[in-house]
Structure 1
């Protein structure tokens, strides 16, 4: 269980405070208007954004004293953060060992992760030889091999065409089920939530305004959510 309890950070003219619970193996979609605080929440969980107060625990472990490398978290951003001088294989393998010293089983793990995201024939290519969508898939493959129990996705598939985005979302869902990974996924596409999410968090003005099933997208009368979806009250 990931427990987010009144987790607070603030800026000179803005303050956010989040509370939520995510069950192990659960996929949670985090939606809301731009600037509402979605990426800030992911940064607080990953340890990249300072927390002023509140509590953050995962499977009973207090995460706040831990630096980003020590947290049981993998974060996949819109910016895939590839090493431009390394081929696809090494960009994936660095998720297993920063010095790229892999034993045979780990090398097979890298090859399988590349195959799962459709890059099995591109292991020797450099990032500059890949499309933007292929580069994002390298980032997903790296996340697959890391095997951390908490996966944070910050719009990583935004550059993919709709069919491939749905395919990658299905891969994330399969990973979560197979390895009991807890996934928190930021998306500006409500369809993503309906495709794979077990629950939905709607963030509005620096707080979680709604938490529930993805059917909230159709059933809720919350004015902030309806504005975000572009629906009038009577629609």
Structure 2
């Protein structure tokens, strides 16, 4: 399947009578569009609209398309978007392998064959991010950088067709931040995933290397 383009077609979001944010953009396969601005300007609200869980207090117009598919009225689970947040949000009651298995799409075949196939994919994924043999580890025993890598791989194993990044590096220290930027953006390019990132950090935008939209507070009235 050809890599799709993520299109924000004249997307405008209002809070009451106040226009909060307006974006019209196309994000090609493997590219990152960075939306920047101070807190409260509407960055995460835009991400919520694209993901499909805009709060009822807001209203939105325009269309969101991924290739030939109009996502605007689809429920979040049918949009096939991968979300990466500030916090890894790993399930504490599951092992590292269990967290990764949660992202795997269902496959056919006999139960024993499915189990072996899932285990192979999990082991390959952990090896890919430098965490071979970590499948049985409790996620609470991982470092911040290790948790971030597991969270990224869990999203990628779900086979999304585009990515949404919500301040994904903001809670990492400087060294880990650089490492995770390289890892995340390399995987996005390799998989040809159009990506929308919201951040307040200009270094995130520079590392992403794509187009940048800067939002400013809208005048009251």
Same fold (TM over 0.5): yes
The Cα offsets for residues 155-201 of structure 1, whole Å up to 9 and x where unpaired, read as 22222222222222222222222211111122222112212322212
SS of match in other structure, 1:172: helix
Q: Where do residues 36-75 of structure 1 align in structure 2 (5 Å cutoff)? A: 36-49=41-54, 51-75=59-83
Q: How far is 1:104 from its partner?
A: 3.5
Structure-2 separation of matches of 1:151 and 1:189: 18
Given candidates 150, 166, 183, the residue that maps to 2:162 is 150
Aligned length: 205
User: Of 22, 27, 38, which aligns to 1:22?
Assistant: 27
Whole-angstrom CA distance in 1 between matches of 2:122 and 2:217: 41
Match of 1:191 in 2: 203
Give per-residue Cα distances to partners, 1:90-130, cap 9 Å, x unaligned: 1011001489x744344332223223333324322212222
Contact in 2 for aligned 1:113/1:141 (Cα 8 Å): yes
Between the aligned partners of 2:120 and 2:19, the Cα distance in structure 1 is: 46
Indicate if the aligned counterparts of 2:165 and 2:196 stay in contact, CA closer than 8 A: yes
After superposition, the CA RMSD in angstroms is 2.3
Name the structure 2 match of 1:117: 129
Structure 1 residue matching 2:140: 3-state secondary structure: helix
TM-score by length of 1: 0.78
SS in 2 for 1:90: helix
Q: Which residue number in structure 1 is paired with residue 13 of structure 2?
A: 9
Task: Give distance in 1, aligned partners of 2:174 and 2:128.
Answer: 18
Post-superposition shift, 1:87?
A: 0.5
Unaligned runs of 5+ in 2: none
CA distance in 1, matches of 2:128, 2:214: 31
Distance 1:133 1:31 in 2: 24
Shift in Å at residue 44 of structure 1? 0.6
Q: TM-score, normalised by structure 2?
A: 0.82
Rounded to whole Å, the distance in 1 between the matches of 2:106 and 2:137 is 19
Q: Structure 1: state its 5+ residue gaps.
A: 207-235
